[in-house]
Amino acid sequence: MPSLRRINVDHSSTEFRFQPAIPRLNAPAPAFEAETTHGRLALEDYRGTWVILFSHPADFTPVCTTEFIEFARIAPALKERGVELLGLSIDSIYSHIAWIQAIREKFGVDIPFPVIADGNREVASLYGMIMPGESTTETSRCVFFIDPNGILRATIYYPMSLGRNMDEILRVIDGLQTSDRHKVALPANWRPGDKVIVPPPRTVEDAKSRATSGYECTDWWFCRTTLPKD
Ligand code: BEZ
């Protein structure tokens, strides 16, 4: 099988010694303004809505094409949740336009979201989207979940060889919005409607009251509950 551009990595190389900072969770997402397939856009334009900023390695590549088709498929479900999609690669605006047209012609799918043409890698550098171990030029498959206040709330990185899971992207949004709304934490493999974790008690009094709280407690520090229907 042909290799997926796996390169021999010199970890002492300049790329590895001067790694850009990766944005931190619960910190403001780095501000930018960029050329996109929908005109010039700034992160600030998304203030008041959730935004999923995602990068792909290159236009006219098969895995990226399947991902774009699937991002387009979940776009209405994301919109219902108040979430906008914003794509990015280092390809030119002309390449993006041609690829979006090809996806329409060959697969019958309209791409409804803007795609940043980040030729000078300005946004990619701000967000640490280039992983020198994979490619020193192209962006990896990164996903940044940014809340309506411009705060970075979750990040997913996938390698070039693996297309992203759209169910997980929807689950992350559902999880972030549910934990914000109800001030709860969510267990492994949580899905909307599943039981949630009640935050552990912070005082002796609170710990004692767990026994009569009505929560399902396995121990005083491990309690679950069912949320009321929205
Ligand atoms: C793809 O999207 O098919 C792809 C892109 C970069 C490296 C490997 C695969």
Q: Is residue 112 a contact partner of residue 103, using CB atoms and an 8 Å limit?
A: no
pLDDT given at position 229: 81
* SS3 of the chain: helix, strand, coil, percent, to 5: 30, 20, 45
Assess whether pLDDT exceeds 90 at residue 208. Answer: no
Is the Cα dihedral 140, 172, 48, 24 positive or negative? negative
Sequence length of the chain is 230
**Tokens coding 121:** 């890698």
Q: How many angstroms is it from 133 CA to the middle of ligand 1?
A: 15
Three-state secondary-structure class, residue 131: coil
* 211 vs 215: CA distance, rounded Å: 8
Question: In sequence order, which residues have a C-beta less than 8 Å from that of residue 77 and are 6 or more positions away?
Answer: 170
Q: How many angstroms is it from 170 CA to the middle of ligand 1?
A: 23
In tens, the pLDDT along 119-166 reads 999 999 999 999 999 999 999 999 999 999 999 999 999 999 999 999
Q: Give catalytic status of residue 64 as yes or no.
A: yes
Most informative mutation of 59, 160, 161, 162 for ligand 1 (most atoms within 8 A of CB): 160
Q: Is residue 27 a contact partner of residue 152, using CB atoms and an 8 Å limit?
A: yes
In tens, the pLDDT along 82-97 reads 999 999 999 999 999 9
Most informative mutation of 6, 54, 55, 63 for ligand 1 (most atoms within 8 A of CB): 63
- Calculate the average pLDDT of the chain: 92
**Tokens coding 153:** 């709330």
Compute and round to an integer the Cα radius of gyration of the chain: 21
Task: Give one DSSP letter per residue of 59-104, joined into a string.
Answer: TT-HHHHHHHHHHHHHHHHHHHTTEEEEEEESS-HHHHHHHHHHHH
pTM: 0.91
**Tokens coding 72:** 């387009």
pLDDT given at position 21: 75
Ligand 1 atom with the smallest distance to the CA of 163 is 2
In tens, the pLDDT along 10-54 reads 666 655 555 667 899 999 999 999 999 999 999 999 999 999 999
Q: Which residues line ligand 1 (CB under 6 A)?
A: 4-5, 57-58, 61-64, 160-161
In tens, the pLDDT along 209-230 reads 887 889 999 998 999 999 988 7
